[in-house]
Structure 1
Amino acid sequence: MDKWNVARIGDIAEVKGGKRLPKGTTLEARNNGAPYIRITDWADGAIDAKNMMYVPEAAQPVISRYRIHEDDIFISIVGTIGLTARIGADLDGSFLTENAAKITVTNKIMSSTFLRYALMSSAGQNEIHSLAVGSTQPKLALHRIRDIKVPCPSREVQVAISDVLGALDEKIATNTSISRSADQLAGHLFDQAASSVPTIPMSKVLTPILGGTPARANPNFWNGERLWASAKDITGSPFAVLIDSEEKITTQAIERTKAKPLPAGSVILTARGTVGAVARLAVPSSFNQSCYGFIPNELPPGLLYFSILRAAQRAKSLAHGSVFDTITMRTFDHLLMPDFGEARVSIESQIAPLLDLVTTKVLENASLAAIRDALLPQLMSGKLRVTEAEALIETVL
C-alpha cells in the first residue's frame, strides 16, 4: 500500500457558493443560453440537462458573478448534501443555485477530476457528512468544505486513477446518451400514432392497483431482498426505469400483506405527495399506497407506459398552478388516453425495441456504477494499483 500525502481543500482550491435568484424571478423552460443548475439536475454523478431551467435575461446581470465554469466541481450543500459532479464545457458559465457550491482547483498539485473522485469516495462522503449540521435539513457550510482533507498522490498517479475511473464514467455517459435518444424517439412515435386516433377515459381500459405498506413494527417484514418502491424511488428512476428501491421487504411481507409485487413491464404512477411521476418496472416490485400500479394485458407495456405518462403530463399542464395534489380512483374517469384499437400491436412493435434498449442501458449503467464505486475507495486508499484496476475493467468495457 502506497503512503500518500494529504491536502486540505482550502489550500488547493477556492470554494464559493451559488446565488438565490432575485425576488420575483421565474425560471424559464426555454434555452436562452443561461442554465441555472439546481440539485435536482444532478443524476448518476453528472449534471443532466434533461429538465434544465434557465435564468431570464432581466435577472442575469444581478447574479452575473455567481457562475460555475468548466472543470469546477459542483457539490450540493443543503438537504441532500455531498452530491458531486465535474462541470463540462457544455455548462461553462452556468448559474448555480444557492443550495450548492463550486470548488475551483487553484494549485497544480491537484487534478480537479481526481479531487472530484476523492469527494465521491466513501472516505470523502463520510467526511462531508460528518461536517454537516442539522438533521431535518442538513447544511454544509463553505468553510467546512475548505477543511475537508483529501489524498494527494503525485499528478501521475492522479491522472492514472482518473483515467481508469473515467473510462467507466465515459461508458455510462455514452449509455445515457443512447438511452435519451431512444426514449425521445419512442415518445415521438407514440405521439405521432396517438394524434390520429380517438381518446377514451383511462378507467374504461385500465385497472389501477393501489399499493400497500407492510407494518413497520414487524421486523419480519423489512430488510429483505424484495423491492418495495416509494414515490422517491419512482421520481429517482433513470429514464423512468425502476431497477431498485431504497427499502426492501421480505417474502413474508409479500405473502401476508397488501404489498404485492407487480411483474416487469408494469407501470407505477405516484398519486400523493409528488403527484404524476411515472416509472416502468424493469424487475418485479411492490410499492406503497401513495402509488397506483398498472399491469400490461390487452395494452402492451410500451403503450401502457406512454399512455399513463402523457395523461399525467396533460393533467399537470392543465392545472396551471392550481391544486393537483392527489389522484384518486375517480381521477381515472377524467384522464384520457388514446384508443389504438387493432393498431396497438403494430405501434408497440415500433416502440418496444426502443424502450427495451433504454432498459438495457439503464441496467448496464447500474452495473458499471457499482464497479466504479467498488474500485473508488480501493484506488483512493492505495490498496489497489491502477494496473490491477485496468485489468478488471477491461473485462466489462
Structure 2
Amino acid sequence: MSGDLPDGWHEVRLGQIAREVSVRNRDAAEIPVLSVTKHNGFVRSSEYFSRAVHSQDTSNYKIVRKGQFAYATIHLEEGSIALLSDFDQGLISPMYTVFETASKQVCSEYLFSALKRFALSGRFEPYSNGGVNRRKSISFTDLKAFRFALPTLAEQQAISDVTNALGDPIAKTSALIEALAEAKYSTMRELLTRGLRRGEAPMKPIPERWVLGRITEDVTHIPSNWNLVRLNTVAKLESGHTPSRDKPEYWGGTIPWLSLGDTDALDSLEIEETAESVTPKGIANSSARILPVDTVVFSRTATVGKASRMKTPMATSQDFANWICGPTLLPAYLVQVFRHMGREWKRLQEGSTHQTIYMPVFKKLQILQPPLSEQQRIAEIGEAFDYRIEQERKSLAVLIENRAALAHELLSGRLRLPESLIARHRDTTGEAA
C-alpha cells in the first residue's frame, strides 16, 4: 500500500491511533440510553424502538462520551458504527465496543468516515474471528490490526468539511420526507374517517361493531352516506402461489411474477416490472393466477403493510393478499386505506419467527366505503402526497450515492482537494505546507 500513497499520506494500523475505553455506569447516573443504527448513528433507544427495551438496571451499561465511537461486534460488517456528536454522553448496552482516538494527529470525523466506508465495503472481513449463530464477530483487539491510509491532519479536516457539507442537504431532504409523511398521515386520517367535508358532513353512528380494519381507535360516527362493509363483499380476495422451482420450464417466461424480492417496488403507486417471470405452463401447473390490471397487492409477510396496484397483468407468490375491486370500490382508494392502516397491521400480525397476517384475517376485514366520487377525490389527495414523497426519496438516494462516491475518492487519495481548502486548516494545526 505504501508505494501507492499520495504525498503526505502514510499507512497506519487502527491500534496506533485509537484505544478502547470501557467505563461502566456504576453510579447509576441518569444518562440517556442510546442505540447504534446503521443509517442514523446514535439514537435514543426509547424513540428508536417506540418503547423502553433496556434493562432497568443500567449499572453495567457502558458510558460513551461525545467524540467517542461505538459498534456492536457482530454488526460492524453491516456498517453499524457511530460517532457520538449529538449528545454529551449516553449509555449503551455492554454488547457494544467503545473506542476513541489516541492521537492529536487524527480527526475523529475523518476516522469515522473511513471506518464507515470500509465497513460498508466489507473491508473488515479478514479481521473477524468467527462468532455465533453464523455471524462474524470483530472485537477491538481484532480491529486494532486494521490498516488504512491517513493524510495529514489538515487534509483530514478539509475532507471532513467537504463530506459534512454534503450531509446538510441529505439531512434536510430526510426531514422533508418525514414532515410530508406526518402531514399525509394527519390529512388522511381525517379524510378516511370524516370525508371531504370533515366537520360539516352529517354523521351517523357506526351501524355495527368495527372489529378488523380500523383506521383509528376513536371512530364512533361516520358520514351519513358512508357504509361500513366487509371488504370481501366489494372486492374479490386472491392468494398467490409459487410454481415448482424444480421445473425449469415453469420459469423465465413472459408473465411477471411478484415475490418478496419485489417488495421495495410496492412503495410506488403502481407496479409493472418484477424480478422474476413465469411461463403459461408454470401458471397452469400451480395455484397461481394471472391477475388483472389494477389488482391491489398487499404484502402480508416480511414487509407487512406495503400496498400498490398492478399496472400490468401478473401473478404473485403466496406472500401477498390480492384484491380485485368490484364496481363500488376504487383500487386507488383501497391502496390509500391499506397504506394508512399501519397500526392495525401491526396488531394483526402473528408468528414467532416471521411476522405475517394469515389469509383468514383478510376475509373478515371491514372498511369504510364512501360514494365513488368521494373515493376518487380522497385517493387523489393521498396519491399527491405519495408522488411527492417518492420523488424526494429518489432525490435523497441520489444525494447519498453522490456523497458516498465522493467520499470514496477522497478517502482513498485518488481525488485530492485544492491546496487552498487544505491550507485553511494548516493555520490551526500548525502543519507546514
TM over 0.5: yes
Q: Highest CA radius of gyration, 1 or 2? A: 2
Mapped to 1, the partners of 2:70 and 2:258 lie a distance apart of: 31
Mapped to 2, the partners of 1:181 and 1:98 lie a distance apart of: 35
Aligned length: 359
Mapped to 1, the partners of 2:54 and 2:375 lie a distance apart of: 45
Structure 2: gaps spanning 5 or more residues: 25-29, 195-221, 422-433
Cα shift at 1:180: 0.5
Q: Which protein is richer in helix relative to its size? A: 1
Structure 2 residue 114 is the aligned partner of structure 1 residue 118: yes
Cα shift at 1:182: 0.5
1:201–1:334 Cα contact (<8 Å) kept: yes
Equivalence for 1:27: none
Code of the aligned partner of 1:106: A
Mapped to 2, the partners of 1:183 and 1:264 lie a distance apart of: 27
**Do the aligned partners of residues 188 and 120 (structure 1) sit closer, same or farther apart at CA in structure 2, a change above 3 Å counting?**
same
Cα shift at 1:332: 1.0
Equivalence for 1:362: 393
1:104 aligned to which of 100, 103, 113 = 100
Cα shift at 1:186: 0.5
Mapped to 2, the partners of 1:254 and 1:10 lie a distance apart of: 57
Residue-by-residue CA offset, 1:319-374 (whole Å, 9 max, x unaligned): 79999944343221223333233322333343333222211111112122222232
Cα shift at 1:253: 4.8
Code of the aligned partner of 1:290: D
Equivalence for 1:160: 158
The within-5 A match list for 1:294-333 is 298-299=329-330, 301=332, 303-311=333-341, 313-317=343-347, 325-333=355-363
Equivalence for 2:365: 335
Code of the aligned partner of 1:372: R
* Secondary structure class of the residue paired with 2:390: helix
Structure 1: gaps spanning 5 or more residues: 20-31, 391-397
Cα shift at 1:36: 3.8
Mapped to 1, the partners of 2:354 and 2:13 lie a distance apart of: 48
The within-5 A match list for 1:195-210 is 195-196=193-194, 197=222, 198-207=227-236, 210=239
Equivalence for 2:214: none
Code of the aligned partner of 2:56: A
Structure 2 residue 14 is the aligned partner of structure 1 residue 9: yes
Residue-by-residue CA offset, 1:263-291 (whole Å, 9 max, x unaligned): 9998754434x373436589999975323
Mapped to 1, the partners of 2:188 and 2:250 lie a distance apart of: 43
**Do the aligned partners of residues 334 and 309 (structure 1) sit closer, same or farther apart at CA in structure 2, a change above 3 Å counting?**
farther
Code of the aligned partner of 1:117: S
Cα shift at 1:381: 1.6
Equivalence for 1:380: 411
Mapped to 2, the partners of 1:75 and 1:333 lie a distance apart of: 45
* Secondary structure class of the residue paired with 1:386: coil
Cα shift at 1:121: 2.5
**Do the aligned partners of residues 101 and 241 (structure 1) sit closer, same or farther apart at CA in structure 2, a change above 3 Å counting?**
farther
Code of the aligned partner of 2:171: A
Mapped to 1, the partners of 2:257 and 2:23 lie a distance apart of: 37
Cα shift at 1:255: 7.9
Structure 2 residue 306 is the aligned partner of structure 1 residue 278: yes
**Do the aligned partners of residues 111 and 93 (structure 1) sit closer, same or farther apart at CA in structure 2, a change above 3 Å counting?**
same
Equivalence for 1:147: 145
Code of the aligned partner of 1:14: R
1:34–1:54 Cα contact (<8 Å) kept: no
Equivalence for 2:56: 59
Cα shift at 1:205: 4.4
Equivalence for 1:249: 275
1:221–1:249 Cα contact (<8 Å) kept: no
**Do the aligned partners of residues 262 and 362 (structure 1) sit closer, same or farther apart at CA in structure 2, a change above 3 Å counting?**
farther
**Do the aligned partners of residues 175 and 256 (structure 1) sit closer, same or farther apart at CA in structure 2, a change above 3 Å counting?**
farther
Q: TM-score, structure 1 length as denominator?
A: 0.70
The within-5 A match list for 1:155-234 is 155-196=153-194, 197=222, 198-207=227-236, 210=239, 230=260, 234=263
Mapped to 2, the partners of 1:69 and 1:265 lie a distance apart of: 53
**Do the aligned partners of residues 249 and 8 (structure 1) sit closer, same or farther apart at CA in structure 2, a change above 3 Å counting?**
same
Q: TM-score, structure 2 length as denominator?
A: 0.65
Mapped to 1, the partners of 2:107 and 2:249 lie a distance apart of: 47
Cα shift at 1:123: 7.9
1:77 aligned to which of 67, 73, 87 = 73
Cα shift at 1:176: 0.9
Mapped to 1, the partners of 2:178 and 2:155 lie a distance apart of: 34
Deviates more, 1:193-202 or 1:314-323: 314-323
Mapped to 2, the partners of 1:263 and 1:369 lie a distance apart of: 37
Mapped to 2, the partners of 1:330 and 1:372 lie a distance apart of: 47
